[in-house]
Amino acid sequence: MIDVAYAQAPAGAAAPSGPEQFLFTFAPLIAIAFIFYFMIIRPQQRKQKETERMLAAIKKGDRVLTSGGMFGTVVGTKDQVVVLKVADDVKVEFSRQSIVQVQAKSE
């Protein structure tokens, strides 16, 4: 007959139960959730708010860059549309969300 030895905890040490077991089981998951929030979600929310403020502050005369790489000067704004002057006598309408950067007010 083959003797099989199983690993057992010493008689005095019992496995954690109740609140301790909950803590040991879920503490790493809670720590990962906090790290995920502070490293990914919070900075993204900050960037989104900053972008919304920039888009809301666009006014006539600002020089902007579109997501397509086109530079232009704002000559008019509507609700969600920005009219850009890209050359002499050339005006193009863009969605406000396509503006990625406000460079400076042209003089």
Cα(52)–Cα(66) distance, integer angstroms: 15
Query: Which CATH number applies to 59-107?
Result: 2.30.30
Identify the band that residue 93 occupies on the pLDDT scale cut at 50, 70 and 90. very high
Output 21 or 88, whichever has higher pLDDT.
88
Angle at 58 between CA 39 and CA 56, to 5 degrees: 55
Q: What is the model's pLDDT at position 43?
A: 94
- The two structure tokens encoding residue 62: 């600002």
pLDDT at 7 over 60: yes
pLDDT digit string, tens, across residues 39-79: 999 999 999 999 999 999 999 999 999 999 999 999 999 98
Cα(64)–Cα(97) distance, integer angstroms: 12
pLDDT at 106 over 60: no
57 contacts 96 by C-beta, under 8 angstroms: no
Number of other CB atoms surrounding residue 75 within 10 Å: 13
Q: What is the model's pLDDT at position 88?
A: 93
- The two structure tokens encoding residue 79: 């609700």
Q: Where are the domains of the chain?
A: 16-57, 59-107
Q: What is the model's pLDDT at position 15?
A: 58
